A and B are shown apart, each in its own frame.
Chain A
Amino acid sequence: MVNFLSRVIIMSTPLLLGSLAEVYAERTGMMICAIEGIFLIGAWGGFVGTYLSGSQVLGLLLAMGCGLAMAALYGLITVYMKQQQVVTGTALQILSAGFCSFFHRVIFGVPITPLQIKTLPKLPIPLLSQIPFIGQILFTQNILTYLAYILIPLSIYVLFHTSLGLTLRSTGENPEAVDVAGINVNRVRFFTVLFAGALGGLAGSFYTVGYLGMFTTGIIGGRGWIAFAICFLGNWNPKGAVLGTLAFGLADAVSVWIQAVGRSEFFPNELIIALPYILTILLTIFRSNFNVPAKLGTPYSKEN
């Protein structure tokens, strides 16, 4: 049970980081449709950085840098060139898939055995990890999970209790008003996208540096889109993102558990895998009090 719940937390960490990145960006009106690509390039950057330098810190930094670079390209095209976010995101997703597998080959050739890196160590927090049951689940994780814990209250505070948060949210709801207040709308959006890209890259690196210790091109396998969906599911709110993340993390862990105990003959674990997606669809359909940022997906230009 402890192992199972601990796994829920592990599977949830990157999704939470990714969906928080998405919450920030979408509050300013920018959907990060390239999130799948950002996850992948982050995973790759984390692996390459760690493998070549031997330092996980440098690996994580490279992951953030890669995510940032991808986000910068995305921001350039969508914010300043005002192109469709959905199609740009799709293009960049394919680009980053090709980029990662191509340069993986350029750097490492065709290794005979899969390359491995050491994963981030578990850092039990003194005292807290001693709490029976909960301590092992919540407080015996790696540094990225703790970062996710910190980001939850921090994001709520920043988004809803600071003037920066007000600016971010207004940029998504009423960019004209923000512009009149003398704030550069496009710059706010661009820098938020950059921040989200760095966070998304870090989230992606969790899969390589934090968890598996190796890289394959299919390592993300749609989880970036899940983070994207969680943001919708969570009503563009960090609190909602936590709930959504746990739902997906739980489903992920349950389906692995069903496979592990070999009960898939009796119970279709595919249903469990599909459940969060079905849930997302149903919630999107039946929730009336959706809090969609008014200008989500709309480029801003001053009338001239």
Chain B
Amino acid sequence: MKKSNVLIYNIAAVAIGLLISAAMLLFMQIDPIKVIGEAGRKILTDKYTTGEILVKATPLIFTSLAFAFTYQANLFNIGAQGQFYAGSITAVSLSLALGDKVPTWFLLIIVGIGAFASGAFVGALIGLAKAKFSANEFLVSMMSTYVVNAFMDYLLRTVLKETKAEYLQTDPIKKSAYLPKIVNGTRIHLGLILAVLAAVGCYVLLYKTPLGFRIRAVGHNPNAARLGGIKPAKIYVIAFLIAGGLAGLAGLTEINGVQHMLLQNFNSSIGSFGIGIAILANGSPIGCIFASILFGFLNVMGTTMGRLPGLKIPASIIDLIEGIVMTCVIMSYFVRSWADNKAQKRSIRKVGE
């Protein structure tokens, strides 16, 4: 299979998805072309809004990598949301504790390690359950999100509660604990570079190192891998550990880069969007970057359309668009394999004649 083939089908599927979504606007008696044009112009001319695309894409790169990475070992990590929350809890606690007490670069490194470690801890537990007890990792990772969420609610209500004690949120972290901005006039922060590096790192790890080969071998056929001297159980734990850590890092970028505090239920859908993005990217780490930017764009598009005066387009249209696009992409995988099958049969027939 040629690589370009996947890309063409993907682009076509996204385009069809967007067309269907645009048609949905007709239900609101809104002219889609005019509205999308207007929102598009606003996004492209306003530097801050353009930057928001990359701000929104940053955590999505991490959560999509968290799914894509285990996907290579044929495991489903759908608990990225919980691993992200675990990372966020650590990030905010460390930032609150160390803010203004240590130099910024040192604090950020500590927070980064902490966020990675706590996400990795949750991930590794799931991996262990899979490796030691051959538990269904899909179910365990899903349930782990709710447990971490409950734990976070508990902390927000007690230890981490803000001094005003009004809402379920923490105090804002000190300015010195912020991730530095890298583009003036926007909210784009260092986390973006970190995310891109993480994606490239995943690519190198998966395709250029022995460990990556083992992970992919286990994903392809665990029994064959075992005969080849690879221990699938070990790979399960490692894959989940790394995936959890990646999702945990999203905690660093969101707490220290964007929100500057921990709120109840914040960014509550980046876990499930991450899965969609990873699928859109066909499990490729580099693809995750671009697919995340696309979702970041759709996200900003949705909010911008929602803010256009006098139209009252609900911001929730973004969920609709993303759902439709994802469904179209999944269907495109079928269409592609069907077309390939047909082409193959035709060539076999030709040889037969």
Contacts and interface: CB of A to CB of B under 8 A. Distances in A.
Interface of A: 73, 77, 81-84, 86-88, 90-99, 101-103, 105-106, 109-110, 217, 222, 225, 228-229, 232, 264, 268, 270-271, 273-274, 277-278, 280-281, 284-286, 292
A285 B135 contact: yes
Nearest to B133: A285
A84 B28 CA distance: 34
Given A87-B279, A98-B319, A273 B326 contact: no
Contact of B27 (A73, A81, A103, A280): A103
Given A105-B316, A278-B147, A96 B323 contact: yes
Contacts of B314: 101-102, 105
Nearest to B333: A83
A97 B330 contact: no
Q: Which 4 A-B pairs have the closest CB atoms?
A: A95-B323, A98-B319, A98-B320, A274-B150
Interface string B319-345: 111111011001101100000000000
A94 B326 CA distance: 9
Contact of B318 (A98, A109, A274): A98
- The SS class assigned to the B binding surface is helix
Interface residues of B, number: 46
Nearest to B337: A82
Interface stretch (B137-145, B212-220, B255-263): B137-145
Nearest to B321: A98
14 contacts: A73-B327, A81-B331, A87-B276, A90-B276, A95-B326, A95-B327, A102-B317, A105-B312, A270-B157, A274-B151, A277-B144, A278-B143, A278-B147, A285-B135
A232 B323 contact: no
Nearest to A286: B133
Contacts, number: 143
A92 B327 contact: yes
B330 A77 contact: yes
B221 interface: no
B129 A281 contact: yes
A225 B82 CA distance: 15
A208 B324 CA distance: 25
B27 A106 contact: yes
B78 to A, nearest CB: 7
B140 A90 contact: no
A95 B6 CA distance: 23
Contacts of A91: 276, 279, 323, 326-327, 330
Given A87-B279, A106-B27, A229-B139, A94 B316 contact: no
B321 A270 contact: no
Contact of B323 (A83, A84, A92, A271): A92
Interface string B149-187: 011011001100000000000000000000000000000
Given A274-B151, A284-B129, A217 B142 contact: no
Given A83-B334, A281-B129, A284-B140, A94 B276 contact: yes
Nearest to A31: B138
A232 B139 contact: yes
A275 to B, nearest CB: 9
B303 interface: no
A211 B157 CA distance: 28
A98 B302 CA distance: 11
